[in-house]
Amino acid sequence: MKIAYLIIAYNNARHFPRLIRALNTPRCGFFVHIDKKYDITPYTAVRGQNIVFSRNRVPVYWGDFSTVEAILIVLREALQSAEGFERFVLLSGSDYPVRSAESIERFFESHRETEYMNLVPMPSKALGKPLTRLSYYRPGPLTPPWLLFTAKALMKLHLWPHRNYRKVLGNMKPYGGSMFWALTRNAAQYLLDFVDRRPDFLRFYRNTYCPDEMMLQTILGNSPFAPNIRRNLTYADWSARGRSPEWINRKHLDLFKTTVRFPPDDPYGPGDMLFARKFSEDADDLVEELNRIIAEREAGG
């Protein structure tokens, strides 16, 4: 099983070599996009014939379409690679595996036709996926601050003009979910073919809120691959209900000692964990301890 790891990174350079070391095998490749706003030099110090740093870099902003652009850049480069990768796994630069690289490869070998992507029909109040993410026109991140402030105030008061998303989606059901996924080659190619064929789709999602959690999910949720979709494989702790998940700490290591499966009452359902986020640059001791936990678990200890 040849795996292409697609890594979207920006400000966690010290963690990057840990992630590469943990996942690196002769059967994988890494396709890396570094946010154009950041110095790429600390990342390119990590060398390997199977590590490709994209030269087509874009500045990435939280909640903005630029995240989707970065994803599509590395996905396209991985699909065009002569290596013939069979599985495409999207990660951030703050991720780390909770199983060994060999165990991850065996997992995907045993689930060759399954797509892993969190999906929920919109709107979903429970998961914070309102239809206003589609119907409100969201100004870009470089919009003057006064206009952004005005737009946010009007949105909260429900006075911001609505867009008819049906003009673009037609009969497609809108889906929301999580940014991170693991797709087969056929599904990954389907996504690229769709966006190449539908520039209007890209234009519409360019001015939505958190399109990285909606656009590709909507495409795949309305595709022939939909029956094969299962929840994603990346653990994140959103219990603090912030804009970002909690940093991984020792309480999470206690969880990984106990299980590497999502429980039945998880909002996206039960399933396997292969990765977790977010790990900080200063998480050296945590990563070493997690490596010991993984080794003991897989040795049957």
Instruction: Give yes or no: residues 18 and 159 share one domain.
Output: no
pLDDT attached to residue 147: 66
- The tens digit of pLDDT for each residue in 261-298 reads 999 999 999 999 999 999 999 999 999 999 999 999 99
- Are residues 107 and 23 in contact, defined by beta-carbon separation less than 8 angstroms? no
Residues 6 or more apart whose Cβ sits within 8 Å of residue 265: none
pLDDT attached to residue 186: 99
Output the domain CATH number for residue 206: 3.90.550
Instruction: Give yes or no: residues 144 and 66 share one domain.
Output: no
Spatial separation of the C-alpha atoms in residues 63 and 22, rounded to whole Å: 29
| Tokens read off for 217 | 């999910």
Residue 147: give the domain boundaries.
132-166
Q: Cα 136 to chain center, whole Å?
A: 23
* Three-state DSSP class for residue 199: helix
- The tens digit of pLDDT for each residue in 109-118 reads 999 999 999 9
Spatial separation of the C-alpha atoms in residues 177 and 218, rounded to whole Å: 9
Q: Is the pLDDT of residue 301 over 60?
A: no
Spatial separation of the C-alpha atoms in residues 102 and 124, rounded to whole Å: 36
Instruction: Give yes or no: residues 106 and 140 share one domain.
Output: no
What amino acid occupies position 110?
A: S
Average pLDDT over residues 116-129: 95
pLDDT attached to residue 160: 64
User: Kind of pairing, strands 87-92 and 115-121?
Assistant: unpaired
Higher pLDDT, 142 or 87: 87
Q: Is the pLDDT of residue 120 over 90?
A: yes
Instruction: Give yes or no: residues 55 and 104 share one domain.
Output: yes
Count of the separate structural domains present in the chain? 2
pLDDT attached to residue 263: 96
Average pLDDT over residues 27-55: 97
Instruction: Give yes or no: residues 65 and 177 share one domain.
Output: yes
pLDDT attached to residue 182: 99
